[in-house]
Every structure is written in structure tokens, then in C-alpha cells.
A and B are shown apart, each in its own frame.
Chain A
Amino acid sequence: MRRLTLAAAAALALAAPAFAVTPDEQLRDPKLEARARALSQELRCLVCQNQSIDDSTAPLAHDLRVILRERLAAGDSDRQAVDYLVARYGDFVLLKPPFQPDTWALWLGPLAVLLAGGAGAAIYLRARARAGEAPLSAAEEAEAARLMATQDKLD
């Protein structure tokens, strides 16, 4: 049993992860290739929309990886290379949406909900604290005294 577990663990440790990026599409310059890898992890595959083009094995993702590398090899900055794809596929191709007027609700919405909730909680808690400070009415005092007396008797 132990040996089997060890063998399974070894097999898992040795298994190479499957990469979508194939050697023939990689750039020779390791610096450019590193930039391309970093950028392609931030770009959405239009076919399998929740994967980056770096992860996806879809043919279109392959094409976009190749285009990205062509742009970088041609001397584009990171920004220019990404903008080249944004011009064709829109902001949707960016896995991280840019901060601009039509995404303000997206970026600031959670903060607004948090603030509204916090304000609501603060108002509620303050009101409760104030209610707690109010002195007891005469009837309440009498009831409290009666309860205390019963408690003493039980002891």
C-alpha cells in the first residue's frame, strides 16, 4: 500500500503539465518570449471565454498568440501589441477590464455595496446602543426587582 502511494506520488510529481503554447510558436529571444507569455495570460480566448489565450488550445487562441509575438518581434510595446487585439476584439479580449466610465459600476460597485452595508450596520448599532442606555421605566424597574427576588428565593 505504502509503495503504491509512493509510486502514485512519484508519477504525479513527474507528470509534465500540458501547455497550450507549442515550441514552434515560441520566440527565439527569451526576453520577448517572456513578455509574450505574460501578455497572453492577460488576454481572453474568444472561443473558450474563461481561458486566457496562453491556456487555450483553440485554433483562434493559437493565431492570436502568433499575432501577439509578431507584433512584439516587430518592435511593438506591450501596450501597442495588446491594443492591436483590442482594436479587433474590443475590451472583452482583456481578462482584466480597464477602469473607464462604462466599467465604473463594475470596479466601484462592490465598494459602494460595502459602504452602504457598513453605513446601515453603523446606524443600526448606534440606535441599539442608544436604546440600551435609556433608563428603565417604573414598571420595568418593578418587574426587574420581582425577577431578582424570585432568583434569590431559588438560590
Chain B
Amino acid sequence: MRRLLFLLPVAVFLAVIAGFMAGLRHDPSVLPSMLIGKPLPTFALAPMRPGEQGLASAELTGEPVMVNVFASWCAVCKEEHPMLMALRSQGVKIVGLDWREDAGAGARWLEANGDPYVRAGNDASGRAGIDMGVSGAPETFIVDRQGRVRYRQVGEITPEVWSQTLAPLMARLRAES
């Protein structure tokens, strides 16, 4: 019994080390979203090009959709872009939120790189993004048929993120009535 007591500090030490090791795997930029299970905040974004349609939150119901926050100043968005193009060709519905820049910059970026969005809108002031709790680009919100946010992806949609997390979720949301 007494000897076990002497082992106690060692056990505590090992537990602390295990805690720290687990902490190393934790990405501090990934934060829980306040929106999960709640409807998208109301927004009506300006069009990317004069005369075109913008993007309004009210239109994002009826079928599951991915809302992708992007910007031409965002380096990781460029890395993510081929993945979005591939998803578009697979028929995944993605809409774009061009965050914190002139619509012109976003529009030129889409012309140069290709447009993976069925619709996109420009959020020059960044307020729509802030209402959604966006802390950086890229970020992607998965919205269900009822227009409720079901998942928030912080950072790039890599092929792994898509196949392991987002694709099963989108399939599940499509199966929901």
C-alpha cells in the first residue's frame, strides 16, 4: 500500500505528459462554431460583377449546400481551389462568400482560376462573415435543407477532409427529408 503511494507522483506525471501529448495534436485554430444546429445568419451579399445576382441566405434552403468563404488574398484558398473544382464537376452544390475584399478582386480571381460556385456573393465589409463567426479564410459551412448550419470546416478542404468528414455528412443530409 505504502509503495503504491510512492508511485502516485509517477502516475500523475505520466498522466500530465499524456495530456500534453494529446494537446500537440490539437489544432488551436479549429474552434467550435456557435452556429451548429442554428439557421444561417441573414445576409444579402452584393453580386461579384455589376448586374449579376448576389447571394442571399434566404435562398440557401431546399437542398444541402456548402458555403465556402474565400478571398483572392487568401493563399490557402488557392490550394483548396482544385478540390472545389473537382467537387463542382461531381455535382456538389457550393456557393461562395468572397470575404473582405472588393468584388472586382474576387471576380478576377475566379476568372483566372475557374469558378467552382453555383452562386457567389461579395462581402466587402466582412460583416456577413463575422455574423457567421468566420475567423479566417478558407472556411466552409455545411447547410442542410432547412437552412441550418450542420458543420463548420476551418481551413482547407483536403481530399481527406472531404472523403472522411464532409462527403458522408453531405450524403446524410441529402438523405434527410
Contact = CB atoms under 8 A, between A and B. Distances in A.
Interface of A: 46-47, 49, 59-60, 63-64, 67, 87-90, 92
Contacts of B100: 59, 63
B34 to A, nearest CB: 5
Contacts of A46: 31, 135-136
Interface in B73-106: 100
B118 interface: no
B32 A90 contact: yes
A90 B133 CA distance: 8
B14 interface: no
B133 A60 contact: no
Given A47-B135, A60-B135, A90 B31 contact: yes
Contact of B131 (A47, A60, A88, A92): A88
Given A60-B135, A63-B100, 11 more contacts: A47-B135, A59-B126, A60-B130, A63-B127, A63-B130, A87-B34, A88-B131, A89-B31, A90-B31, A90-B33, A92-B32
A44 B123 CA distance: 23
Contacts of B126: 59-60, 63
The main secondary structure of chain A at its interface with chain B is helix
A55 to B, nearest CB: 16
Contacts of B51: none
17 contacts: A46-B135, A47-B135, A49-B28, A49-B29, A59-B126, A60-B130, A60-B135, A63-B100, A63-B125, A63-B127, A67-B130, A87-B34, A88-B34, A88-B132, A90-B31, A90-B33, A92-B31
Nearest to B32: A90
Contact of A88 (B28, B29, B133, B136): B133
A9 to B, nearest CB: 39
Contacts of A59: 100, 126
Contacts of B125: 63
Contacts of A90: 31-34, 133
A47 B136 contact: yes
6 closest Cβ contacts across the A-B interface? Answer: A46-B135, A88-B133, A90-B34, A89-B133, A63-B126, A92-B31
Nearest to B125: A63
B134 to A, nearest CB: 8
Interface string B6-41: 000000000000000000000011011110000000
Contacts of B131: 88
Interface in B120-159: 125-127, 130-133, 135-136
Contacts of A92: 31-32
A46 B135 CA distance: 6
A90 to B, nearest CB: 5
Contacts of A88: 34, 130-133
Given A88-B130, A89-B34, A60 B136 contact: yes
A89 B32 contact: no
Nearest to A89: B133
